[in-house]
Structure 1
Amino acid sequence: MEKFNFRFVDDPKNRNVGLTLEEINTLKEKIGLRFPKAYIDYLLKAGKNSNVFNVETNSSELQRIQKGLRAELDALNLLQNEEILCIKKNFETYYFFNLSENKGTPTLYILSEICINENWNVFQKRITTGQGENFVNFINGLAEKIYGKMVKQYLKNIPLYIIAIPIAIVFSVLAGLMILTEKIWRKN
């Protein structure tokens, strides 16, 4: 199976628990939809419990939210001929993939109400993409928000720091020389 670069955090108080391949296949059969490869990889690692983003894995509940999302999309005349996989509903917000795009690392779409005026009194249902657009980046962005940056994210900036230090020294020396020459000119 293809590897995806999900950032899974080892949190002893809130561990990630995955589903088995058999459980995933049963779930796919019961709801009658295929799952993107990245989503299957995610379910294997954090399908039962995720310390970042829990998804729905109860087949009857998944079918119910699928129908709810389809009704919302049809009412808005959106994605009517597209195959949709809704993975989570949180209040009136739906998280879903457009399976018709046929991507290994799918875009995560979010259908929610968004304020469309300055007074916060007019809302409209709209589809947006998840942070980072694709599902892997969305999960990694949530992990960063909750658990902070990883050490390797800091380490990958080391070449930038190495380049920036001499430049900063040169600018400091130039600024010091300018201040010194200005003081000398004032005394004379």
Structure 2
Amino acid sequence: MNKYNFRFVDHPEDPNMGLANEEIAFLQKELNLQFPENYIYYLQHAGKRSNIFPVECDIVKLKKYQKQLKDALKERDILSAESLFCFQYNIEYEPLVGQDFETFYFFNLSDPKSPDLYIFGDFITNFDWLGYDKELTNKENFVDFINYKTEEKFRIKEKIKIWDILVWIILIPVFIIILIIIVFQNVKEKIKNL
């Protein structure tokens, strides 16, 4: 079993393709950063193309992301003394608000043994969708994050497991008994109130 338990999906229409070690070394050298080991492993298996979470390997864009992230965090005085590596930046137009929503995905490299994964981006602040603000979320584990994204994307295509069927077979009678008890309690209350 591998040290990093990414759940890669064999998807023939959109296969994962990794980067060569030389390409990864070039990115690290140009950014003057040492990537986390689990991110290097991910790049080796899904660096050119990932069917789950897009990977940016354009050095010009990556350098731009580092500056954009530092500027955005500096405005809010967040993580200013930490060593950070922004590996993905997304911007999407939200028609309900009429604004662009940006999201940074980055590692806090200050702890090289287990760098934390962070997401920093815009989120809706009220239910009428008219206000938004930036939020910093610590996801902690990159492997868990990718596996969650994998399950989220490919859940529909998974086969129903026998264990799932057994759980439902056991739970359905329990739900029926609970329903009978609730109905009985309601009838009992109505009779008392007569």
Name the TM tier (shorter chain). Answer: 0.7 to 0.9
Name which of 155, 177, 193 aligns with 1:148: 155
Which range moves more in the overlay, 137-146 or 43-52? 137-146
**Equivalent residues in 2 for 1:69-108, closer than 5 Å:** 69-91=69-91, 92-104=102-114, 106-108=115-117
Quick check: 1:137 aligned with 2:137? no
Which residue pairs with 1:18 in the alignment?
Answer: 18
Contact persistence 1:52–1:143 (CA under 8 A): yes
CA shift, 1:141, in A, is 1.0
Letter in 1 for 2:128: N
Deviations 1:33-88 (A, max 9, x none): 11011100100000000000112111121111101100101111000000000010
- Name the SS for the 2:110 alignment partner: helix
Contact persistence 1:96–1:110 (CA under 8 A): yes
Which residue pairs with 2:127 in the alignment?
Answer: 118
Q: Distance in 2 between matches of 1:16 and 1:68?
A: 28
Give unmatched runs, 5+ long, in structure 1.
Answer: 176-188
Which residue pairs with 1:64 in the alignment?
Answer: 64
Q: Distance in 2 between matches of 1:6 and 1:82?
A: 27
Q: Distance in 1 between matches of 2:108 and 2:160?
A: 31
Q: Distance in 2 between matches of 1:101 and 1:150?
A: 37
Which range moves more in the overlay, 110-119 or 37-46? 110-119
Change (3 A) 1:5 1:25: same
Change (3 A) 1:13 1:152: closer
Give unmatched runs, 5+ long, in structure 2.
Answer: 92-101, 182-194
- Name the SS for the 2:87 alignment partner: strand
Report the TM-score, using the length of structure 2 for normalisation. 0.74
CA shift, 1:27, in A, is 0.8
Q: Distance in 1 between matches of 2:87 and 2:24?
A: 13
Contact persistence 1:3–1:41 (CA under 8 A): no
Name the % identity.
41
Divergent runs of 4+, >3 A:
149-155
Larger radius of gyration: 1
Q: Distance in 2 between matches of 1:7 and 1:152?
A: 16
Change (3 A) 1:116 1:28: same
Q: Distance in 1 between matches of 2:62 and 2:138?
A: 20
Give the number of aligned pairs: 170
CA shift, 1:96, in A, is 0.5
CA shift, 1:154, in A, is 4.4
CA shift, 1:114, in A, is 1.5
Q: Distance in 1 between matches of 2:157 and 2:32?
A: 38
Contact persistence 2:109–2:116 (CA under 8 A): no
Which residue pairs with 2:190 in the alignment?
Answer: none
CA shift, 1:122, in A, is 2.0
Name which of 109, 112, 115 aligns with 2:118: 109
